[in-house]
Structure 1
Amino acid sequence: MKTGKSTAGDTKARILDATEKLFIEVGYEATSLRQVTSRAIVNLAAVNYHFRSKEMMMQAVLGRRLDPLNTRRLALLDACEARWPGHAIRCEHVMGALFVPALQMARQPEIGGPSFLRLLGRVYSDTSPFIQSYLMGHYAPVFGRFFEAFARALPDVPRQELGWRLHFALKALAGVLAGDELGNLMPAFTQGKSMSDAHVLAQLTSMVVAALKAPAPETQELGALQDVFDIGDAQQADEQAHMEALAATVESEAHQAAVATAAAVSRARRGTRTVRNEGTARAATASLAVRREMCPAFPSNPLDDWMRTRSRN
């Protein structure tokens, strides 16, 4: 029989599991409390009781996975730096200290499980301000430690150059590792052959390390790319000019059509007025004729006739 305490613990775990799966699937912004309660089969009161807000709930999700991961990373980096002190440490050693613990945790369902790498990929790729702020606020010391280790392993790369190269390279590697479940990821890289995790990670890190060590672009390379940009800009300008000319033509044709329509309407109105006026005139003439025809003819007065005759005589 479960106690009240164990039931509360099960409810909290279900909420965290549901939130983690939704975060992996759709990201932080699209994860809603309604979706979490539906996936975890709990009510909103349970979520508010355990976490009080979406932000605190997500912090709990990230903390239970990333805190143990970073503890293992730092311990492994300490061991590597002790074994290969100073500049003796290689870039592959530092890269291994970053990703070996993640692969190990992905093999252990009780602390990570198969979806752990996908969670890391989502964390590194999610652009929401909350996730980015959380990572910088909680794990800046970890990032600093690994940056210094990479700087010792790559002394010829300027620190400013190294910063953005690491940002690009580590996100790319995390995205590859997070692209699928670990069970499907390994066969894709091994192509059916028996291959250890170290071999798979070596295949991936070789490309990343090559990118970190790549020389800075020379003048000829910059010039070649600038030429391509110039061609692209010219094409874009031509396309813009064509669109503007097309828009002007359409506007002119629309104006001409509007003028023609207005003229036709004006002519139609004048014609209507003319017909109406002619009709009015004809009606007036006809009315006058009718009135004249309808005037009665009275007989002459005999006295008037005698007076006119007498005046002549």
Structure 2
Amino acid sequence: MLSAEALFAEQGFAETTMREITSAAKVNLAAVNYHFGSKKGLITAVAEKYLTPLVSNLQDSLSERQADIKGGTITAQELLEILMRTLLQLGKSRQFALPVFMRLLELIYMKNQQELRDAMLARHRDSFSVFIELLRKDAAVMEDEEFFWRLHFLMGSIIFTLSNFQTLVAIEMREFERSAEVERTLHRMIPVLVAGLQARAEHTPFTRI
């Protein structure tokens, strides 16, 4: 699976062929099909390899913070810091973790990946919904539809930055003669994302109880 992950990280899921995977892993197609059934099965296996520990670590961090504040509100800044630390933890635990995870999110958003998207949502929706509900509590008052878009703007910013991190590093090196680090980059995104969540919505509900 490691060979497939390396290719997925470099090229993306849709762009990587089974021929490339079997060639890199030095196995035949029958062996891959035996273990995973198909390319779709392989992608699902890779997705679970990364999503499961990410979700588990995020839940643990949220539970620990909720216990510390004894029922108080966790700020959006704190929540995003927890998310960034969780992503960094995942990145340090596996060789291709962050690029593979971002490529996975890109794939899930493709219009022809409804089946994969539904499968991932069915398995992990409840776990992520806790984080999302906590995030909304410290966001500006807004309609559900507005929050939906703000949340996806937030996710899109993170996905774009991490998916294109090496390109952005090269641009920064050319412009400023210094190279960014993943950890610093993730944390410098937080005030921008928080501001987006807390900006007053053009149309707001009359009340929130």
TM-score range, shorter chain: 0.7 to 0.9
2:191 matched to 1:210? no
Distance in 2 between the 1:20 and 1:193 partners? 25
Amino acid at match of 1:52: G
1:100 maps onto 2:85 in alignment: yes
Q: Which amino acid aligns with 2:100?
A: L
Q: Deviating runs (4+, > 6 A) in structure 1?
A: 193-196
Q: Is the 8 A contact 2:140 2:200 kept in 1?
A: no
Query: Would the aligned equivalents of 1:124 and 1:171 in 2 still touch at CA under 8 Å?
Result: no
Instruction: Select which of 46, 63, 69 maps to 2:54.
Output: 69
User: Structure 2 matches for 1:256-271, cutoff 5 A?
Assistant: none
For residues 1-313 of structure 1, the aligned pairs below 5 Å read 16-86=1-71, 88-108=73-93, 112-113=94-95, 115-126=96-107, 127=110, 128-129=112-113, 130-154=115-139, 156-180=141-165, 197=183, 200-217=185-202
- Give percent identity, aligned residues only: 27
AA matched with 1:152: K
CA RMSD of aligned residues (A): 2.8
Partner Cα distance (2:74, 2:64) in 1: 11
Aligned to 1:94, the other structure's residue is in SS state helix
Structure-1 separation of matches of 2:13 and 2:143: 35
Unaligned runs of 5+ in 2: 204-209
**In structure 1, what is the Cα distance between the partners aligned to 2:64 and 2:150?**
25
- State the distance in 1 between where 2:143 and 2:71 align: 17
- Conserved in 2, the CA contact under 8 Å of 1:18 and 1:36? yes
- Secondary structure of the residue that 2:142 maps to in structure 1? coil
Q: Which structure 1 segments of 5+ residues have no match?
A: 1-15, 219-313
Larger radius of gyration: 1
Structure 2 Cα separation of the partners of residues 133 and 34 of structure 1: 27
Q: 2: distance between equivalents of 1:40 and 1:212?
A: 44
Structure possessing the higher relative contact order (Cα contacts under 8 Å, 6 or more residues apart): 2
Q: Distance in 2 between matches of 1:141 and 1:116?
A: 23
TM-score, with length taken from structure 1: 0.55
1:136-172 Cα offsets, whole Å, 9 max, x none, are 1221112211111112222623333222211111221
Amino acid at match of 1:116: A
In 2, Cα distance between equivalents of 1:196 and 1:173? 11
Amino acid at match of 2:148: G
Aligned length: 194
CA offset digits 1:236-257 (Å, max 9, x no partner):
xxxxxxxxxxxxxxxxxxxxxx
Distance 1:54-1:119 versus aligned 2 partners, 3 A rule: same
Q: Partner of 2:207 in structure 1? A: none
- Deviation of the 1:70 alpha carbon: 1.1
The one-letter code sitting in structure 2 at the alignment partner of 1:122 is R
TM-score computed with the length of structure 2 as normaliser? 0.79
